[in-house]
Structure 1
């Protein structure tokens, strides 16, 4: 919320807030004051004329690297991609020399809550879940906040697309793919309702002990009850999907229709190996066409099963300790490469985080450094592979002619936090303002203490 109020109205508003909201008024007022003092850059304007980025190293996103490349785009679409011999009309094109720099496709954050959560400790700014445990008709995209202060911080690490993902309950609702620039969610959405999110009832529930910081496993006593409810829902939804024009629309069953004709993915949150196998079998038994496992901490134990069933995995947070005490400490770092070598399609996410999602490229760098795969293979896990899983690989995910000009220009290796530095970012050819709250704070205190070059 962006509000502009003068001093007279400030006092009146504060008193009104105290009457209406009581003890919560100070928090509410501080949020409004914060948003009125620091505003995000306005969304970028459409591309005005053709642009060519020349001389840089082009990391296409499919494993190909073009040295001294040329990337040309017009009206938001890539019109030419190639080496130094690539020709274009220089008289009508804005030419930008990016020699010594690197070009990458816009990175894609799967399974994130960016734009749905602003301050996790302030309930009024959290809109990532709905009341109820079975809510397949809930749509995350209408809660997506394009004015979030978090969004610009992601763009500064090369992330230009995010999957706005619902949380909570057993069947949380549908996610949508959003561009990280726009006036509202209608502007920002790239693909609506790409899939539904199911949290599979686990065999064991984890219980954290704050006394000794240990994790205890408790048997999930309600597990079968939840599975029975899901079985009934999916059976009803499958039967409903066979009716082309139902006389009465059932919103819950209607929202599941895309699972049975392949238009939507079913994203299943499951970590334990038994849960992974059981959930996949459940989905296939009920006629679900496209299944993707989210989290998948135990995926290596059932890699052959996943490969045989053509089930991709989107790993959760890579920068963590192993789940099991007998696993090597670097097992989470090596997991992406081990699964890939086992023939499983792998994409990376940062779990269902929001501001920490900006660290996604560095998890890919970790996978390359510890897993024995190339940087280009790791890059695919956050560009072309997510694009394929989300069904948007025809427009984004790689730097190829005919696709949207959604890309970044980086000073160094985008997967390395030491050299990662985004100079330019483009979404549909629109040049993005890379200012953010972090940079504003840096400038503020640099000026105060007169730090920097004299």
Structure 2
């Protein structure tokens, strides 16, 4: 009996050690972060500032040398010498939808079928994911859970990196529908010789025909004021035509980008976003003229073509920005590297973006505008949610990004994570020798 009891206690302690910290409690008292360098997120910086928030909402952002506060009614936290940033936003992400790529039971990012606009990534979002605390520790406090697979994958939602369940974590439900545009060329990986195989997409015309039929039906359905019974697939696309939802189109080749945007415009879809955009620089003027923003895939990669400059992916944000295109940065399919999102912006600074605050916008306010949540987050302004973090140094530099405090809607989140626990465990192990 004693052996059984000891085994149960051992398993319980191991389980507790491996669990994520509980979600933060609601903000109880007004908080003032005093003396830090405040990066507003819209290009402005206050070198010695103060930011005050109550009930999860920012009530004041000002120069600490001129503002007067009744400090007896609030908790004042001295952040002198540190940097305060709006929570970074990771778009086009599968964080919370998959844990270990090789373990099928932990992957819930797509459904069977080709045309699934009614599939909602929202309800698959796992707030217990071990990955979520790791992204918080680099300042990523918001993520867009996107579906994958098929031609029309489903709808995404904007989620907070804190909450007991998806109902607690959701910031904006069903912000857009995801479309995988059928490319002229299909790319696949040859596992035998580890090479990239590019060949003509033989099913392209057939796929576009099916899309035309689906969007035609959806547009006609959206024109109806009421429909009984409801068609769930067409009902889920209604917001595309009213402008309430974005149409996120995954496309990389220049010609595919042009054709995909023209397709969406032909059906009266007002809000189109290109995701991936490996050759977006080739059609930058077209994107600007059609007011189409781009969510770039990871910059830390090789170029798409053999004859392109090896640093082209690094320079892509600067090229598009100079052309007048609204740019956001993402890690797309590489969910396990999402924690490194701020360093994509840091890379852009060294390759064409001259102002660090402009690069910061690509992971804060630009992304918020694209996702349609800029009235809530993305900048540190009065009336917006207090989703922010304090770093010991420059958050865009991996050498100085040390997140010491993080708040989601004013709730101070626990910054423990699996990485820190393992580091502590093995540090103690080898220090004993």
Please report the TM-score for the alignment, with normalisation by the length of structure 1.
Answer: 0.91
Q: Provide closer, same or farther for how the CA distance between residues 155 and 451 of structure 1 changes in structure 2, counting only shifts above 3 A.
A: farther
Q: Provide closer, same or farther for how the CA distance between residues 250 and 58 of structure 1 changes in structure 2, counting only shifts above 3 A.
A: same
**Does 2:35 correspond to 1:55?**
yes
Pick aligned residue for 1:68 from 12, 25, 48: 48
Q: Provide closer, same or farther for how the CA distance between residues 195 and 35 of structure 1 changes in structure 2, counting only shifts above 3 A.
A: farther
**Does 2:427 correspond to 1:427?**
no
**Does 2:341 correspond to 1:350?**
no
SS at match of 1:146: coil
Equivalent in the alignment of 1:308: 289
Task: Within 5 Å, give how 1:155-174 maps onto structure 2.
Answer: 155-174=136-155
Tell me how large the CA RMSD over aligned residues is: 1.9
Pick aligned residue for 1:46 from 19, 26, 51: 26
Q: How many residues align?
A: 428
Deviations 1:123-164 (A, max 9, x none): 111000001011000000100000111100000000000000
Equivalent in the alignment of 2:364: 383
Structure 1 residue 35 displacement after superposition: 5.6
Equivalent in the alignment of 1:81: 61
Pick aligned residue for 1:371 from 325, 348, 352: 352
Structure 1: where are the runs of 5+ without partners?
Answer: 1-5, 12-29
Structure 1 residue 369 displacement after superposition: 1.0
Task: Within 5 Å, give how 1:26-425 maps onto structure 2.
Answer: 37-84=17-64, 85-425=66-406
Deviations 1:298-350 (A, max 9, x none): 10101111111110100001000011111111000000011100111111101
Deviations 1:369-417 (A, max 9, x none): 1124211000000000110111111110000111000000000010000
8 Å CA contact 2:99–2:131 kept in 1: the answer is: yes
Please report the TM-score for the alignment, with normalisation by the length of structure 2.
Answer: 0.96
Report the Cα distance in structure 1 between the residues aligned to 2:205 and 2:310, rounded to whole angstroms: 34
Structure 1 residue 450 displacement after superposition: 2.7
Report the Cα distance in structure 2 between the residues aligned to 1:142 and 1:345, rounded to whole angstroms: 29
8 Å CA contact 1:293–1:312 kept in 2: the answer is: yes
SS at match of 1:371: coil
Structure 1 residue 210 displacement after superposition: 4.0
Structure 2: where are the runs of 5+ without partners?
Answer: none
8 Å CA contact 1:80–1:86 kept in 2: the answer is: no
